[in-house]
Amino acid sequence: QVQLVQSGAEVKKPGASVKVSCKASGYTFTSYYMHWVRQAPGQGLEWMGIINPSGGSTSYAQKFQGRVTMTRDTSTSTVYMELSSLRSEDTAVYYCARERYYYDSSTPGYWGQGTLVTVSS
Amino acid sequence: DIQMTQSPSSLSASVGDRVTITCQASQDISNYLNWYQQKPGKAPKLLIYDASNLETGVPSRFSGSGSGTDFTFTISSLQPEDIATYYCQQYDNLPRTFGQGTKVEIK
């Protein structure tokens, strides 16, 4: 079965960077895109971007362009999301979510457990 | 970006009631719409894809309809375990965007 296991909670200072990992298992890693979605405390869901684990190509929401980098390591079936120049508004739970469809980018179908990133001085 | 507007933002209903949530897109998105359920402290769960198709294992009391700009999500008979926040999400264009959510509570 599809499993996505994310790294643990992080506390960062404003201006720092954070790198969240998402280790996948139970399927062919390179055949399904991975989305990143975040949720600030008490707020809704916000789509950040997507990575194709096969070739490493990415697409980011304009809001995060220049601050977010999504990468993957096919040898360990792990995707990473790095967010730089952190500010207090980046405090949120960050989710990875595997695409539901083969080689598609439409539907976050299987979700990780989430990683809380707290930005505080 | 395509804006997704859900209404209401919250509702309270009795067990057994029919519950309806609407989602409006800022432009035509055909049927490129998903619905998710999120329980407190948990990750979202996909319930409906392509506007009206029930994900495997999801109870049949959940349904979706609509196309173009106007969509509806319905719970035919509200159960205590349905207490959650529900989100619509479009996939016609990048970036994918979500509605702001509808919190469903028991009266």
Q: What is the DSSP string of B4-49?
A: EEEE-SEEEE-TT--EEEEEEESS--TT-EEEEEE-TTS--EEEEE
The pLDDT of residue A103? 86
Q: pLDDT of B45-78, one tens digit each?
A: 999 999 999 999 999 999 999 999 999 999 999 9
Chain B nearest CA to A121, separation (Å): 25
Which residues in chain A are contacts of B101 at CB distance < 8 A?
A: 44-45
CB-based contact A34:A91 (threshold 8 Å): no
B96's tokens: 């994918």
* pLDDT tens column, A3-28: 999 999 999 999 999 999 999 999 99
Instruction: Give A32-42 pLDDT, tens digit per residue.
Output: 999 999 999 99
Most B CBs within 10 Å: which of A4, A35, A47, as the mutation test of the B interface?
A47
